[in-house]
């Protein structure tokens, strides 16, 4: 049964890595700022996925906490960027 889990982890890591590359391409080639903010948002979600998959492969619970930190920082940065684009400032 371990062989199936290894194959599934490899396929999932490959899929998320392809998603990261495509989001990076969208970040560089985005036609406007909103597309770039969405690409950054998707990149941090993919980063969380990569960290979680790595923690499953390694068997370390510490990496789950790192994934939580990346998710929290990504959410705050996305909200700040969206607010800046809509209002022109982050803090009122």
Domain boundaries, the chain: 2-87
Mean predicted lDDT score pLDDT of the chain: 89
Question: Do the beta carbons of residue 52 and residue 64 sit within 8 Å?
Answer: yes
Confidence at residue 83, expressed as pLDDT on a 0 to 100 scale? 86
90 CB-contact burial (10 Å; exposed 0-12 / middle 13-18 / buried 19+): exposed
DSSP codes, 19-65: HHHHHHHHHHH-SSHHHHHHHHHHHHHHHHHHHHHHHHHHT-SHHHH
- Reported as a single tens digit per residue, the pLDDT across 4-13 is 989 999 999 9
């Amino acid at each position: 049964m371990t062989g199936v889990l290894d194959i599934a982890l490899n396929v999932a890591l490959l899929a998320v890595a392809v998603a990261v590359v495509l989001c990076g391409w969208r970040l560089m080639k985005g036609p406007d700022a909103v597309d770039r903010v969405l690409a950054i948002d998707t990149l941090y979600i993919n980063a969380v996925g990569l960290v979680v998959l790595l923690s499953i492969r390694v068997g370390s619970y510490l990496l789950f906490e790192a994934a939580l930190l990346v998710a929290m920082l990504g959410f705050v940065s996305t909200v700040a960027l969206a607010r800046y684009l809509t209002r022109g400032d982050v803090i009122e």
